[in-house]
Amino acid sequence: MLMNRRTSLLGLVTLASSGVTSCSLVQRAGWVDAPEPVVDPRRRVPATPAAIEAPAAGMGMGVAVPGRIVGPTRVAYSSCRVPGRYVALTFDDGPDPQDTPRLLTLLGERNVKATFFVIGRNVRAFPRIVERTHAEGHELANHSMTHPTLSKLGDAAVAREINGCSEAISGVLGGHRPQVFRPPYGAFSARQKEWAHQEFGLPSILWSVDPQDWKIRNSEHVSRTLIQGAGSGGILLAHDIHPTTVAAMPTVVDTLLERGFQFVTMGQLINMEIRAAGSASALLRFTAGSM
């Protein structure tokens, strides 16, 4: 019996190495050279608390708990090893003056928390939306200052991009700084990931499901891809700057909730992996000592 327990525990402590999910590096037409703020020029403009800790056992779906990441992180994540049907819903490239508020409203109606990887100069352009996002329990994360292809830049330029975004978020949120970073287009070399983790303490967050909603502006496609790809510890990628993506979210969220998934922020998801690994290691040491 002890040997069987020890074998199963060994499976628990084996964590996935930091993987890189392949992604399209095609740049959106007009995006990089767009004038500030970085909002899709085809879009119409209307006229008018801290990183997240893992939820305790038995908590309701999407309930955010104030706190910080509780231990050392991996260099990069495309998913997390977690003991349950938890997923992180993540949104890139905002805030957007029209679609981000609409998204926040529908997430609030469902008591679901998400992670928003924001662009620094959009943060400066729309600070009230950033404040609302934070006040409603969502996680604000770093997506660079101007959304360039970082793999083509030197370290000094990359540092300006990362620091600029973190400072923009901190300036709006009274000193709160993001704990995770997502490189635009996922374009970040293995060396850069190691360097950013060491230099800034920021793990690079990639994804396990990409509906390519920036290119395929079809709500049914977006919802179907995210629902079919969702799995335990998954990181779902979407963009809160496209109406078709926001329109897909009620179906995505409602369907996954019905299937027993719980939505957590990236900070929560990482904490769950850290704690699961720590618990399994402690049990393994206890079991080995009793043999």
Global pTM value: 0.78
> What is the Cα–Cα distance from 120 to 112, expressed in whole angstroms?
24
Model confidence at 161: pLDDT above 80: yes
Model confidence at 56: pLDDT above 80: no
> What is the Cα–Cα distance from 94 to 191, expressed in whole angstroms?
27
Q: Which amino acid is at 40?
A: D
Both tokens of 187, joined, read 């374009």
Q: Where are the beta strands (DSSP E) in 73-218?
A: 76-77, 86-92, 115-118, 139-142, 204-205
> What is the Cα–Cα distance from 244 to 108, expressed in whole angstroms?
19
Select which of 138, 143, 197, 239 is catalytic: 239
Class (C level, CATH) for 75-290: alpha beta
Model confidence at 6: pLDDT above 60: no
> What is the Cα–Cα distance from 258 to 248, expressed in whole angstroms?
16
pLDDT at residue number 40: 43
Averaged pLDDT for residues 273-278: 91
pLDDT tens for residues 79-116? Answer: 999 999 999 999 999 999 999 999 999 999 999 999 99
Q: Which amino acid is at 241?
A: I
Model confidence at 130: pLDDT above 60: yes
| 209: DSSP letter | B
- Sequence-distant (6+) residues with CB within 8 A of 197 are 73, 75, 76, 203, 204
> What is the Cα–Cα distance from 145 to 19, expressed in whole angstroms?
25
> Domain boundaries in the chain?
75-290
92 labelled catalytic: yes
Select which of 92, 93, 213, 240 is catalytic: 92
pLDDT tens for residues 212-245? Answer: 999 999 999 999 999 999 999 999 999 999 999 9
Rounded to the nearest 10°, the torsion over CA 259, 260, 265, 267 is -130
- Sequence-distant (6+) residues with CB within 8 A of 134 are 49, 140, 173, 176
